[in-house]
Amino acid sequence: MFSILLALIALAAIIPFGPCSLAAAEDDERAAAFNNHCRNCHSFKAGDNRLGPSLHGVFGSPAGRVEGYRGYSGSLAGLIWDEANLDKFIASPAAVATNTTMIYPAVAEAAERAKIIEFLKTISRPEATSLGSPPSR
């Protein structure tokens, strides 16, 4: 009887937090991927250009057009930052933009690139703010 009661208490403690915790963990994994690979040069805050341009709102936007950023190296004309182009660029910037000045270790693992792209999508939603962290799902 005691083991059943203990199991019910444990189940009651997990159920309210399970889905929320999973979503938060997924958001954390995406943010961690961005931080591990992109954050040294890029910000996700609007207007916060650094060595590289701010990536706020980048998903679905034309490449090479962040307001206030002047360090573009070229070869981005006509490119739209969709999943396919972001994936190719994160895997090998020079393969997409031949004279890019963006030099960093390529993100070879497709799953890690997918996390970065999903994070970029969250900071490209209309409700994403320029003042804090990206909105959670």
Q: State how far the Cα of 73 lies from the Cα of 51, in Å rounded to an integer.
A: 12
> What is the per-residue pLDDT across 12-47, written as a single tens digit (0 to 9) for each?
444 444 444 445 666 799 999 999 999 999 999 999
DSSP bridge partners of 80: 62
Spatial CB neighbours of 12, under 8 Å, sequence gap ≥ 6: none
> What is the per-residue pLDDT across 57-94, written as a single tens digit (0 to 9) for each?
999 999 999 999 988 877 888 899 999 999 999 999 99
Domains of the chain: 39-132 (1.10.760.10)
